[in-house]
Amino acid sequence: QVQLVESGGGSVQAGGSLRLSCVASAYIINTASMGWFRQAPGKAREGVAVFDNVGTITYADSVKGRFTISKDNAKNTLYLQMNNLSPEDTAMYYCAADKEARASWWLLVRPAQIGVWGQGTQVTVSS
């Protein structure tokens, strides 16, 4: 069973930064498309950033220029560096892996198509 373990969430003030981490197996890190999604209370889950297995990255418009997704294959870890956070970024953040390794632009807007999810880590931004 594939496991994704997130960490790094927390509470920060607007303008602050956080870095989320997602540890996966070596097989998943090296073969799957992986990304970060978020879900705020009462809202649908939405894509934040996806890193597909050919190295293409797609960001949601709302986070471009503020968030950076990256991978460290040696550490089997996916990261999301979040800078200049705003209260609108408050949500549960989930790491996800698509074992079919589909394109990042396609996965970003189709979270329901992704089969592997972490347990989530809460990010709360206060004004």
How many whole angstroms separate alpha carbon 12 and alpha carbon 50?
A: 24
Query: Three-state DSSP class for 113?
Result: helix
The stretch 105-117 carries a mean pLDDT of 96
Per-residue pLDDT, 1: 74
The stretch 53-61 carries a mean pLDDT of 96
pLDDT band at 2 (very low <50, low <70, confident <90, very high): confident
The stretch 83-105 carries a mean pLDDT of 97
How many whole angstroms separate alpha carbon 79 and alpha carbon 71?
A: 6
The stretch 32-38 carries a mean pLDDT of 97
Whether residue 83 is predicted with pLDDT greater than 90 in this model: the reply is yes
Per-residue pLDDT, 94: 98
Per-residue pLDDT, 65: 98
